[in-house]
Amino acid sequence: MTDSLLLLDGTPRRTVDPALLRATSFGHFSSMQVRAGRVDGLDLHLDRLDRSTREVFGRPLPADRVRSDLRAALDHAGSGDVSLRAAVFATTDVHLLIHVDPPIDPGVRPLRLRAFQHQRAVPHLKHTGTFDLVYYGKLAEQAGYDDAVFHTATGEISEASIWNLCFARGTDIVFPDAPILPGIRQQVLQRGLGTHTTTRITLAELPSYDAAYLTNSIDPALPVASITTDAGTTTYDVHPPSADVIAKAYAAVEPQAI
């Protein structure tokens, strides 16, 4: 597909009532890359949308309803290869707004990250309050970096602007245990690994790791070239042993049909 589509509660819309658009500023969402009508960790997306809707709006969002709207989006797009964003908001009822866009290929260039002390509000929810993510990303770009990575007031690495992070020490893949949004691709990776370590990763410990990777719905394992903190820069070289472990972990988990 080449054009964007918008479906509100399963019905295509050329325009959306401004009152509904204002309502979308308080809500949550989940983004996914669809290939041949299949999604990595679809069950995790459906669970996230239901749990978040219960927490934010006090009502369930049944998986069958979400799948029906996602299938309608694919039908109207006329393609099984798309980017989908399922956004949930409420007026008197809970609404599901599906954004359909062309598919996005993963990045290939390792990114240079600048560290900032920051924690998203209600970090376990993928909510629509994304101003701070863009703000710090822009600050990083203005300073000559590719994007931002966050740490707590006590110097613990948490997450990047639109990615989760994992680190490698040899063939061991390690995840930060600071407050984060548990990303769907991170959870899929953890499924494929079978066993993994979640631990406190401080800024001072960054040089002790062999590699670092960014994961999100678009980039399953985008290498990190460097992380710059106030104390200096840690650089990471290409690390085939850990890249191979991550690739095999993803290959072990089958995408699920919408």
- Over residues 20-77, the pLDDT tens digits come to 777 789 999 999 999 999 999 999 999 999 999 999 999 999 999 999 999 999 999 9
Give the per-residue pLDDT at 3.
78
Backbone φ and ψ of 241, nearest 5°: -60, -45
| CATH number for the segment(s) 111-251 | 3.20.10.10
Band (pLDDT 50/70/90 cuts) for residue 195 is confident
CATH 3.30.470.10, the chain: domain bounds: 5-101
User: What type of residue is 37?
Assistant: G
Mean residue pLDDT of the chain comes to 96
Band (pLDDT 50/70/90 cuts) for residue 17 is confident
CATH 3.20.10.10, the chain: domain bounds: 111-251
- Over residues 142-167, the pLDDT tens digits come to 999 999 999 999 999 999 999 999 99
Give the per-residue pLDDT at 2.
65
pLDDT greater than 70 at residue 1: no
CA 62 – CA 48 distance, rounded (Å): 11
Domain 5-101 = CATH 3.30.470.10: yes
